[in-house]
Amino acid sequence: MGDEPTPPGDLGTEADGGVRTYTVRLELVDEPGELLAALAPIAENGGNLMSIHHERGNITPRGHIPVEVDLGCPPDRFDDIVAALRETGVNVIQAGAERYGEEISVVLVGHLIETDLSDTLLAIENETSAAVLDLSLSAPQGTGDISSARVRLAIDSGRSEAVFETIRSVSEEKDLTVVEPLLGGDA
């Protein structure tokens, strides 16, 4: 994680031969064999699977399971991979045609409901290049008291500091505490 340049030799954003890392978000029907079927077109089209994030417990609005796949391939093959996935019938909800984006979680603490949580999230999305991927809210004392929310954001590479600045200023207006992730180093 982090917005630092990937060290040479690592399978990072760029490597020998111009291989880049991409993220695709897929929606799978919760049936046996679905994941395997979805991954086959990647390998068959010259993509190198790097990680698969199966969001256990999360269901998309259509009732499917979101899966995030990181893969490495030369840029000219990426479109073929996405096309092959779609041909197989896999729903590709987001294809990282841009450089590898980052996913970052922040925790917000305060009177989240009374200060209009959806307005807070909209402000974050509108004023930055971030997209809210999911949200988890905990209000053990009831919605009128202090509550906490974990917000998972997709951020363009290298843009995290700008996103955090926006989150800080939005939160300051609403007197919210922001717990940011520690980036940098190998935290």
Nearer to another protein, 42 or 154 (CB): 154
In the complex, what is the shortest distance from the CB of residue 32 to another protein, in angstroms, rounded to a whole number?
A: 26
User: Token pair for residue 9?
Assistant: 């030799």
Residues that bind another protein (CB under 8 A): 105-107, 109-110, 136, 138-140, 146-150, 152, 177, 179-182, 184-187
Question: Shortest gap between Cβ of 137 and another protein (angstroms)?
Answer: 8
- Closer residue to another protein (CB): 105 or 157: 105
In angstroms, what is the minimal distance from the CB of 20 to another protein?
24
- Residue closer to another protein, measured from CB, 36 or 182: 182
Strand order in the sheet with 131-138: 102-110, 147-155, 131-138
CA 43-45-47 angle, 5° bins: 55
- For 42, 50, 113, 156, the CA distances from 28, given in Å and listed in that order, are 15, 19, 32, 25
